[in-house]
Amino acid sequence: MATPTLCDVTLREGDQMPGRSYGIEQRVAAGRALDDLGVELIQAGFPVTGESDRETVRRLACDADVKARIVALARAVAGDVDAALTAEADVIEVMVPVSDLQLGHVLDESRETAFEMLVAAVERVRDGGATPHVTLVDAFRTEPSALIEAFERVPDVPTVSLADTVGARTPHTVHELLSALGASVDLSRAGVHFHDDLGVATANALAACDHGVGRIDVSVASLGERAGNAALEEVVVAGTTDLGVEFGVDTERVIPACTAVLDELDESVEPRKAVLGREVTEHESGIHTAAMVREPATFEPFAPADFGGGRRLLFGEGTGRGGARALLERAGVEPTDERVSGLLDALAERGPVDAEAAIDLAESRAE
């Protein structure tokens, strides 16, 4: 399976959430953390919207230590493109509506006019010395024939992203659309941008990966408008674990890098948030911990350390006899019935405690 390029959109999408207004220094620091992870494309802002976005794009694009290509968003109008060029973005992503709904109620133009605007904007990007990419807004609610025409109108653009702008699709319909396009379009030119309104953005991204798309948009902890976007950490961990795709990033830095981005942006995640949540790699159930003392993979989908995280086994009142026996064995103490009972009493009194403290208690049973 080909390795898609990741484009992180946290800095732009996250800043569009209600009540958020990240400072330039915050966004630049978060962008550098993403660059350290090895993300190839970082969509740092929408320059026409103001100086904060322009300066964020400029600071990252002009930083000699930043290896990622810095992407600026622009509508298919001259002023947007010029603002992105002024910000010195490496890549300018030109977006244009393509669905009937968006054409009629957002752009108020025909599809033909939209395509003409797109072609002109792409040429303006190229004339300005930047690399053009394209996003087709609301693509997943658009007839395949119109999308195929869009690809044909910009044959030299390396990436044309299909946006599920309102998060309306599921893996089944993602497969349907990409299968329909695949007969006429080189899907390695296609990117995908999913929102999580139905709770399946990561699943949609992985479904698109199956079709060989060349780019996937992600955001740390799904930060983004409404329910957010496909989560960077989920896409990477699931893709690596289940599909064998590593997305060109340093997998052992995924959790630390995402945590650094959240810290820089003053964001946090729920304790049970997939991959990043504190409780996701904590285990206290007696059946679970008993097995995991011997073999952690028994109740884990991935080894947290592979992605820069760690696990925490907790022992206490809920620890069963099997768990106590396993702790005694780990401590090199013969697990007699009396010692098992004594250890369970000690755990009930002092717990919940982590594995190291529990093993210390087990060792004390030998005395």
For residues 328 and 296, is the Cβ–Cβ distance under 8 A?
A: no
The Cα-based distances of 291 to 51, 108, 309 in angstroms read 55, 61, 20
- Per-residue CA distances from 317 to 288, 320, 348 (Å): 14, 8, 4
> How many residues belong to the chain?
367
Residues 6 or more apart in contact with residue 50 via CB below 8 angstroms: none
Q: What is residue 167's DSSP assignment? A: -
**Tokens (6 digits) for 259:** 């945590």
> Quick one: CA dihedral 208, 211, 212, 213, positive or negative?
negative
| From 36-40, 278-282, 333-337, the region with the lowest mean pLDDT | 278-282
Q: Where are the domains of the chain?
A: 5-264, 278-364
- Condensed to tens digits (0 to 9), the pLDDT of residues 208-264 reads 999 999 999 999 999 999 999 999 999 999 999 999 998 999 999 999 999 999 999
Whether the per-residue pLDDT at 99 is higher than 90: the answer is: yes
Spatial separation of the C-alpha atoms in residues 156 and 73, rounded to whole Å: 19
Averaged pLDDT for residues 112-132: 97
Q: What are phi and psi of 120, to 5 degrees?
A: -65, -40
Q: Whole-number mean pLDDT of the chain?
A: 93
- Cβ neighbors of 84 (< 8 A, separation 6 or more) are 47, 48, 57, 72, 73, 74, 92, 125, 130
Tell me the backbone φ, ψ of residue 134, rounded to 5 degrees: -130, 140
Place 47 in a pLDDT band, splitting at 50, 70 and 90: very high
- pLDDT, tens only, 330-356: 888 889 988 988 888 888 888 788 778
DSSP 311-351: -EEEESTT--HHHHHHHHHHTT----HHHHHHHHHHHHHH-
* pTM, rounded to two decimals: 0.90
Residues 192, 205: contact at Cβ < 8 Å?
Answer: yes
Residue 290 clears pLDDT 70, i.e. is over it: no
Separation between Cα atoms, residue 325 and residue 289, nearest integer Å:
11
- Helix intervals (H) in the chain: 10-13, 24-37, 51-61, 78-86, 100-102, 111-127, 144-153, 171-182, 201-210, 232-238, 254-264, 286-294, 321-330, 337-350, 355-364
pLDDT confidence of residue 231: 98
219 DSSP assignment: B
CATH topology of domain 5-264: TIM Barrel (3.20.20)
Half-sphere exposure of 193 (CA within 13 A, CB side): 23
